Structures are given as structure tokens and as C-alpha cells.
């Protein structure tokens, strides 16, 4: 069956959450948003493209930072309202220069920083 991004279930803003996951380690790297065109661009180019809600524009991951996400596989969840983007991540995924955006754990009611920014 051919895939059509328009068949996905977008929110009122025309967006759906996209979870980026390292294809080799299964580590969750980040969550961002995509519209139908961002999904199309990602599939067409192999470079993960998101929709920036703050800038109201497309955002190709790594375009300015060099921390590229190369598409390995795109998966659709059972409700078709979220996607999993399995990627090869070059450099840190987080804008804080950390490997993942999920670097803070809650342990015994306290926030604990699990990793520091990457060097270089």
C-alpha cells in the first residue's frame, strides 16, 4: 500500500509529534513537530525535516549546526497521530549540545543532570 502523509492524523495546527530515535542504540534523542510537507521532504531527501513552531518554517536538522539526522526508517504509530523517525545522528541531537534532549532525570523528587554538553 502506498504511503500518503495526508492520511496521518494531524492536530488543529496541522502538526504531529515526531520522536527521533538512534537507529543503532534505540536511544530517544528528541521530540519535534512535523506537518505533511515535512514528512514528504524527509522521505524525499533522507534528511530529517521538522516544522519549527517558533519560527513558523521548515527546519532541516543539522542545516546550521552540522548535527545532521540521516533518515534510516520512518514509522507510523497505531493511531497514525505520531511518528517515529529512526535516524543516524551525527553529533549531538539537542540544541544544548548534548547527545539527547532527555538529559534530566527525576530521582527521589530531585532533578538530576545525566550528561554534560559534548565537546567539539
Q: Which tens digits make up the pLDDT trace of 84-95?
A: 999 999 999 999
Query: What are the backbone dihedrals phi and psi of residue 51, each rounded to the nearest 5 degrees, phi first?
Result: -105, 120
Q: Is 40 helix (H, G, I), strand (E, B) or coil?
A: helix
Q: What is the pLDDT of residue 58?
A: 97
Residue ranges in the chain whose pLDDT is less than 50? none
Read off the pLDDT of residues 62-77 as tens digits, 9 standing for 90 and up: 998 899 999 999 999 9
pTM of the predicted structure, to 2 decimals: 0.92
List beta partners, residue 112.
105
Task: Take residue 1 and report the three cell numbers written for it.
Answer: 500500500
Backbone dihedral angles phi then psi of residue 6, each to the nearest 5 degrees: -65, -15
CA pair distance 82, 20, nearest whole angstrom: 11
Amino acid at each position: 500500500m502506498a504511503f500518503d502523509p495526508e492520511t496521518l492524523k494531524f492536530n488543529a495546527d496541522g502538526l504531529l509529534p515526531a520522536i527521533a530515535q538512534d537507529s543503532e542504540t534505540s536511544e530517544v534523542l528528541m521530540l519535534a513537530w512535523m506537518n505533511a510537507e515535512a514528512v514528504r521532504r524527509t522521505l524525499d531527501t533522507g534528511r530529517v525535516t521538522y516544522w519549527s513552531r517558533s519560527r513558523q518554517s521548515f527546519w532541516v536538522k543539522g542545516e546550521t549546526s552540522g548535527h545532521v539526522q540521516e533518515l534510516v526508517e520512518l514509522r507510523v504509530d497505531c493511531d497514525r497521530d505520531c511518528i517515529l523517525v529512526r535516524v543516524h545522528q551525527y553529533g549531538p541531537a539537542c540544541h544544548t549540545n548534548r547527545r539527547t534532549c532527555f538529559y534530566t532525570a527525576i530521582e527521589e523528587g530531585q532533578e538530576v543532570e545525566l550528561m554534560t554538553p559534548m565537546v567539539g
